[in-house]
Structure 1
Amino acid sequence: MDLVKLRAETVGSQARAHFNNAGSALPPTAVVQAQHAYLDLEAKLGGYEAVEQQQMALERPYAALAQMLSCEPDEIAIVTSATTAWQQVFFGLPFQRGDRILTSRAEYGSNYLAYIQVGNEEASRGERPQKPVLIAVTHVPTSSGRVYSAEAVGRVAQREGITYLLDACQSIGQMPLDVRALGCDYLTGTGRKYLRGPRGSGFLYASRKAMAKHEPAALDIHGATWTGEQDYKLDPTAKRYEVYEMSMAAKVGLGVAVEYALNLGMPHIWDRVCSLATLMRQKLEELPGLELHDKGRQLCGIISFSLKSHSPAEVKAALASKGINISVSAAPSTLLDFRVRGLEAVARASVHYYNTGEEVDALFEELKQLTMPHEHRPQHG
């Protein structure tokens, strides 16, 4: 990778060390320019007229995501967020009393709230357990660098004929993904994280097989055609999961972001992310009073840690004052996992390919100061 060029095309990297890519990555200049250009066109022509003139740009995210995921463009829906995509699938499934859902201990909080909402746990008490009707897991937890074996889950789902919904919010854009190899019926993701796309953009992969069995949770006249008083016809593609209204500038920007990643090559991106993450973990392991929390056979670009001397919020604030961005993951994001591990919150640093070894060193030096006994810290003034 031409790191100098990549950083020149990443405006925010000039002023800050951005290690919050699992929250919202810094967008490339090309993505920002594409959004600005589209908004300017809307201002000059009108919203509907801009859509008519920019059909090719608005179709780009379908083809680009299909290439990235090894599927067909008609299996892609573009929506406002990963949560919107996920809920369109989940609440559209025909759950019945006694149905079971299989998920992981590290499932994302918003997803788990939906499981509670449908009430399957309560409904199945006192009844003979039924075969699971859904496997829904998060590929990479929001609060940990562990990568779960989504392919192994897919093999079980396919063997048993169980619908498989994969949340790939934290994995899409940092590692190669192939939905055929994953074996999932549905996959959801967001634009703002490792894809480096706009906030307010997300997507859904829905296999043709799955679309033949299930409908979206909600329809509007974009995803279906009203054909009679009691009749409608679904869009034959995954666009049935979309709604009419979203930011068209964000949709255009998402297409540019995905193409940007494809041009770099997902294997190259993954190698770079893993290399920087390994470097950061090796450096942080040297610090007394700092504990790393990422466990698993496969780790990714998310590094979660805590300091004995400072809360995660204090660590975030201290680093921010030095021009270094990280994030904090609190228990409600992955409540079951945090309770088992006795955690209330963790600091989260997430690297991307445009980060540098020098930025990792700077993070290390600032954390070193925080972990140093107060009497040993350098005095200023």
Structure 2
Amino acid sequence: MAVPFTPVEIDAIRANTPGCTDDLIHLNHAGSSLPDVSVLDAQIGHLRREAGIGGYEAAEETAEAEAAVYDSIAAMIGGRRHEVARMEHATAAWNAAFWAIPKRPWQRIITHDHDYGANWVAFLRAVEVHGVVIERIPSDAHGQIDLERLASALERPDDIALVSLAWIPTNGGLVNPAAGVGALTRAAGVPFLLDACQAVGQLDIDVESIGCDALSATGRKYLRGPRGSGFLFVHSRAVERFAPAHPDHHGAEWSAIDSYTFAPGATRYEYWEHNHAAWPGLGAAVDVALRLGVDRIQATIAQRAKELREQLVERGMSVHDAGVAKCGIVTMTHPTLDAGEVVSRLATRGVNASSTFLGSARADMEARGLPSLVRLSVHCTTTPAEIQRAATAIGEI
């Protein structure tokens, strides 16, 4: 097991993070985290170059550096360069994979109650477009996806379009057993789409061990990268099995007047136009995570989150985190105030937090009778002193 960062190491990480100040306690890393200064330098430097010599010219000048971002991402997740596609954000990445997976009428989309609201909207749209059926796998006694129930559902693999799983849902602190799901889907030969938007940068990832066919991610959360950046991993075994729904002339070559040919690897999911400043910014964020060690980031986040949960309970708050393994997202309710009011009052005390409502995770929150939750998310930049101050502020309101 990796060891958490020492106080001296955390101070060094914070010194390179402009948002880490004595006046602000940022507990909204699951929303949008605080970037390292190298991320800002990469973005701003490219924007200045675009302004100085032109956008096309700046892109040509940095083509080699842009290409290196794929290598960094592949190294971070245990994949290969040609399995990584550049994306604008996690939703674009997830949708690119979801709509590429073949679907037939009456096939099942298997999901878990914790899947994200945006994904559920896509499921419902697929019901209308493809005539598929949504099958919900309930949670087990620990609140995570019930692997025994999933195994039973997979006994008829021919009538399953895919299994979709939110590795770390938007609410509840849960880390779903992604590798357990991957083992079952691989054995059944069923496509497995893993939403890792809140796992990448927080968990040490090996896509081969997980066994997913596609993995979607964003830059703005635990990777501490730019907003408007993300990536999609598509395993080599799935590249020819799936077909992008909306390719352009970058993702596919217009090879004859009446035909096209998909680009090799995951590039077929990309569009020619993209934010040339955000992509190197994302690369810088990935390089920071690799340099620090994602395993140690994970250990530090787990330690801080445990401290926060304990201190919230001591102050009379109800913590609603589920699962055998828990992440850096801590969700709670106040005895008398709704989530929006708690978040608003914390903001006046210099504490950033967020709230989760029904539309983000309706299946889970309705089942648990939770109309809203306060979401407090820590990172390796969070200090024990900040945990103490934030918990005290919550107790005071």
Give TM-score, length-normalised by structure 1. Answer: 0.94
Equivalent residue, structure 1, for 2:289: 261
Secondary structure of the residue aligned to 1:343 is: coil
Q: Paired residue for 1:9?
A: 16
- Contact preservation (8 Å) 1:90, 1:217: no
Q: Which residue of 2 aligns with 1:84?
A: 92
Letter in 1 for 2:307: L
Tell me the equivalent position of 1:178. 206
User: Which of 83-92 and 198-207 deviates more?
Assistant: 83-92
Identify the residue that residue 198 of structure 1 maps to in structure 2. 226
The answer on 1:224 being equivalent to 2:243 is no
Change (3 A) 1:3 1:184: same
Instruction: Please list, as runs of the form range in 1=range in 2, the aligned pairs for 1:125-144 lying within 5 A after superposition.
Output: 131-144=159-172
Q: Distance in 1 between matches of 2:131 and 2:110?
A: 15
| C-alpha distance in structure 1 between counterparts of 2:387 and 2:393, whole Å | 10
The Cα of 1:120 is off from its aligned counterpart by 6.9
Deviations 1:79-106 (A, max 9, x none): 1011111111111222111111110001
Pairs within 5 Å for 1:277-288: 277-288=305-316
Deviant stretches of 4+, over 2 Å: 120-125, 128-131
State yes or no: 1:349 paired with 2:349.
Answer: no
Instruction: Please give the alpha-carbon distance, in whole angstroms, between the structure 2 residues aligned to 1:102 and 1:323.
Output: 42
Q: Contact 2:105–2:130 at 8 Å: present in 1 too?
A: no
> For 1:111, which of 111, 119, 135 is the aligned residue?
119
Percent identity, aligned pairs only? 37
Q: Work out the CA distance in 2 between the residues paired with 1:203 and 1:75.
A: 10
Give 5+ residue unaligned stretches, structure 2: 1-7, 134-155
TM-score of the aligned structures, taking structure 2 as reference length: 0.90
TM-superposition CA deviations, 1:226-254 (whole Å, max 9, x none): 01122111111211101111111000100
Give the 3 Å change call, closer, same or farther, for CA 354–211 of structure 1 in structure 2: same
Partner Cα distance (1:209, 1:20) in 2: 36
What amino acid sits opposite 1:284 in the alignment? L
Do the aligned partners of 1:100 and 1:130 also contact (CA within 8 Å) in 2?
Answer: no
Residue aligning to 1:39? 47
Of 122, 127, 147 in structure 1, the residue corresponding to residue 175 of structure 2 is 147
Contact 1:98 1:120 in 2 (8 A): no
CA distance in 2, matches of 1:350, 1:201: 20
Unaligned runs of 5+ in 1: 371-381
Secondary structure of 1:285's counterpart equals helix
Distance 2:227 2:250 in 1: 22
Distance change (3 Å), C-alpha of 1:122 and 1:190: closer
Following the alignment from structure 1 to structure 2, what is the Cα–Cα distance between the partners of residues 161 and 174? Answer: 29
What is the CA distance between 1:121 and its match in structure 2?
11
Aligned-partner residue type, residue 12 of structure 2: K
Among residues 192, 195, 216, which one is paired with 1:164 in the alignment?
A: 192
| Aligned counterpart, 1:300 | 327
- Asked if 1:72 corresponds to 2:42, the answer is no
**Cα distance, 1:46–1:195 mapped onto 2, change above 3 Å:** same
Tell me the distance in 2 between the aligned counterparts of 1:198 and 1:220. 25
User: In the superposition, relative to structure 1, how do residues 74 and 123 fare at CA in structure 2: closer, same or farther (>3 Å)?
Assistant: closer
